[in-house]
Amino acid sequence: AQKVTQAQTEISVVEKEDVTLDCVYETRDTTYYLFWYKQPPSGELVFLIRRNSFDEQNEISGRYSWNFQKSTSSFNFTITASQVVDSAVYFCALHLTGTASKLTFGTGTRLQVTL
């Protein structure tokens, strides 16, 4: 069975601080996809990134960066110079190929960025 763990329930930072959101996953499959979604108060889940299990290259997109390490089954997300607009719940999710489109979500990390 697959599982996604986001151990940090809530994180509070002051604007301009860097913050890392942790994600640890479990699966016996060798082929899978990992996702991060952002859920602001409006409710919509906003897609941030998709990474397949064969691509361990880290990625940077503006203030966002992702560190994928298969050796530790982790897919951590760092926001550099956080802003108030980054306040949201962030979900890490796992998708196994052949599971008919089913995403396994972590429990989410609520990030609060204050002035």
Partner 1 sequence: DTEVTQTPKHLVMGMTNKKSLKCEQHMGHRAMYWYKQKAKKPPELMFVYSYEKLSINESVPSRFSPECPNSSLLNLHLHALQPEDSALYLCASRLRGNTGELFFGEGSRLTVL
- Determine, following the binding rule CB under 8 A, whether residue 33 of this chain makes contact with partner 1: yes
Nearest Cα to 58, choosing from 49, 2, 105? 49
CB of 115 to partner 1, least distance (A): 25
x/- letters, 66..85, toward partner 1 (CB under 8 A): --------------------
Helix, strand, coil shares, percent, the chain, to 5: 5, 55, 40
Residues 6+ apart with CB under 8 A from 42: none
Identify the residue among 19, 25, 35, 113 touching partner 1 (CB under 8 A).
35
Binding site for partner 1 (CB under 8 A): 33, 35, 37, 42-47, 50, 52, 91, 95, 97-103, 105-108
